[in-house]
Amino acid sequence: MSKSELIYYYAFDRKWMDRESVEVLLRRGLDAELITIEDDMFVPTFDVASVPVPIGFRPSSSVLAASDPFEILLDRISVGRTHEDVIAEMNAFIADEWYGTITAQAAILCIASKYGVLFSDVLEELEQQMLE
């Protein structure tokens, strides 16, 4: 489908979201490689027939939420502790161990490693953030 057809479908036909939200949805789909653009048409990268859709389905606003890898890792490390405690530890690590020369993304990976928290699923995204 073309971009204008998708905007019409989601915003006007189904009334699921406004035009700006459709733009965000398309951007998220492209970023997640769920869709691609071929000849100005948005095309799914997976077999849509293999995805069961319940009767009366309506997407929630969570489809528009960004999944920040830093926040995901912070949540994992914070089990049994507050985010503030982990951030304080991370800031102390940056200042005391690295004299302010590493990024928060690199520091959160070190803290995760210290506590044995898995981070392989967010590593690539954190690396991208560090390069920006």
Lookup: tokens for 45: 């990268």
* pTM (global) more than 0.85: no
Residue 77 CB-half CA count within 13 A: 24
The whole-chain average pLDDT of the chain stands at 90
Q: Mind listing the pLDDT tens digit for each residue in 41-86?
A: 999 999 999 989 889 888 887 777 657 899 888 888 988 888 889 9
Chain center to CA of 87: 20
Pairwise CA distance, residues 69 & 51, whole Å:
26
**Beta strands in 7-103, from DSSP E residues, in sequence order:** 35-38, 41-44
Domain boundaries, given as residue ranges, for the chain: 3-63, 69-131
Pairwise CA distance, residues 7 & 27, whole Å:
13
Quick one: how many helices (H) and strands (E) in the chain? 7, 2
